[in-house]
Structure 1
């Protein structure tokens, strides 16, 4: 457990200062928002696993409504609120440092739940189970989840995923899981691979260069794992990536 905590701390340090802690794109977020069903006036919004708030800030600007922004890392939440103050959005964002799988909110109080690349940390199945009671009638959930685009996936990809993300499914597999979890899938959209490079991996490389000469063995391991991940995605980006699933609570 101590080793895992040190690894997580190094991972947070490596990602500190970045606008995104995972693949994503502002214009693609707008694309998804434009395809959501109409929400109530002043919708009650939550961004779960928000990181430094790239999605949170967009949601706050778009809906001009309060956003509960949840992440385990106070470092990322502080970074988000600094940016929120710069953009005059601090009154629209409520930072919450806690476990995304243990939210003690009133049932039926969220109209839009957003979660990019985060549900996997507790598994999508558990995330949907614990988040479902929070949703208002006909509430909308958007999650992005790493999925296989190829079916079957190449052997090299399947083998690599046993270490990176053993819970990965095909898009059809995720649709079946969602539809069996108290939700109805309305649409699924793949995040373009360009968003991985432009908004995540390339900025992350700059942080890697700053920390490359570290004598911290844990950070060295994190950097090595991250560089391996980048190289693997470069080779197999047509076989897997993130899919945004839009769903309605039923």
Structure 2
């Protein structure tokens, strides 16, 4: 629950603005029975975050309300687009005039600002304020949960999303692993669990093509349930299971990590390498905890900053790719606050990143030669280049956590 001061501080708006939103019916907070103060729910906060993000995209409050309710008038949107296009033309004319005058008075024109996709930054800002509000808004537009999640976390493009994701998966379906990691890193992390011999049920979330699940099957006698929402990844895993005669040990399941179909306290160990960002690190910790037995373990890896002063190009990239990035110390504090004991905290070996991007680069080269260059491929190449140049500024925090018995 939130009070007026909590909302104004979090959204950076005036109290009068918040109260105006209430007067015109955009939000309807409850009242505290004891003191009469306004109380805002998590749903109210998500609604307000969405309104503020839509306002930054040029929508009026009436248009914001229509968008929230999924009522969008095509003629109105067209008219608004024409207004914005005219404004852009006027601003471009003013920019050209000012550039020409600078050239005349200074003898040279000012440098051009670097090109950027403003809509990608808009989606990133929305995601940083509230992943849940971002998801709900996209679903209100008619996108499925899976597609909305992909727009939030991968393409950040509502217009050409399908083409982008098709190219994205052409790369990741070909690669051995779908994120940085290795057999050795998984083995080392598992061996840090004191009572590992007693583990009988493991859940892996975001399993991809199953390299980690196969490793866990080597090092334990547990039955392993693997979850992913991309069927081709699971099909590739099923083929491996047949080849290795492991179908009786590992059960692939097509499901969303946002809505897992399991009973409470079903697993001794939950494993998630590099996929928790999809729902948000803290949300993942809170949501998945109920599926663990008392004193059960969670292994989770997540991108973190390794410096307080990242280079500008590096920060610009990750402000879009993962706006919730913080330090490994912050992640440990969040885990403790969520009711976990931090058993071990380490960094993914640099070699794992190098091997992952070497594989991606080989895959991209083969695809470029066969089908040409694509926007998704260019984004991946930028990520590879960034890692090779600034890879000492960020990494994966690998946290082995234990659910507190009373948490």
TM-score of the aligned structures, taking structure 1 as reference length: 0.93
Decide whether the 8 Å contact of 1:23 with 1:195 is kept in 2.
yes
| Equivalence for 2:362 | 206
Equivalent residues of 2:199, 2:268 under 8 A apart: no
Matched, 1:170 2:333: no
How far apart in 2 are the matches of 1:40 and 1:192? 26
Query: What is the CA distance between 1:39 and its match in structure 2?
Result: 3.4
* 2:349 maps to 1:192: yes
Q: Distance in 2 between matches of 1:161 and 1:172?
A: 18
Q: How many angstroms apart in 2 are the aligned matches of 1:96 and 1:212?
A: 32
Alpha-carbon spacing, 1:78–1:127, altered in 2? closer, same or farther (3 Å): same
Given that residues 115 and 144 in structure 1 are in contact (C-alpha distance below 8 angstroms), is that contact kept between their aligned partners in structure 2?
yes
**Alignment equivalent of 2:400, drawn from 208, 223, 246:** 246
RMSD over equivalenced CA pairs, Å:
1.7
Work out the CA distance in 1 between the residues paired with 2:246 and 2:319. 41
Answer yes or no: is 1:36 the counterpart of 2:190. Answer: no
Q: How far off its partner does 1:2 sit? A: 6.0
| Larger helix proportion of the pair | 2
Q: 1:221 aligns with which of 351, 365, 375?
A: 375
Structure 2 residue runs of 5 or longer lacking an equivalent are 1-157
Q: Which residue of 1 aligns with 2:99?
A: none
After TM superposition, give the deviation of residue 215 of structure 1 in Å.
Answer: 5.6
Contact 2:199 2:269 in 1 (8 A): no
Q: Distance in 1 between matches of 2:161 and 2:203?
A: 28
Deviates more, 1:201-210 or 1:112-121: 201-210
Distance 1:158 1:38 in 2: 40
Structure 1 stretches of 5 or more lacking a match? Answer: none
Instruction: State the shift of 1:10 in Å.
Output: 2.3
Report the more deviating stretch, 39-48 or 97-106.
39-48
Deviation at 1:136, TM superposition (A): 0.4
Cα deviation, 1:45-92, whole Å, max 9, x if unaligned, reads: 000001011111111221122111001111111111211222221211
Give the TM-score normalised by the residue count of structure 2: 0.58
Which one has the bigger strand percentage?
Answer: 1
Q: 1:234 aligns with which of 362, 385, 388?
A: 388
Q: 1:147-162 to 2 correspondence within 5 Å?
A: 147-162=304-319
Distance change (3 Å), C-alpha of 1:180 and 1:3: farther
What is the Cα deviation at residue 243 of structure 1? 1.5
Match of 2:180 among 3, 20, 23: 23
Higher relative contact order (CA 8 A, sep 6+): 1
Structure whose CA Rg is larger: 2
Equivalenced residues, count: 247
Asked whether the 8 Å contact 2:197–2:220 carries over to 1, the reply is: no
Report the Cα offset of residue 213 of structure 1.
4.4
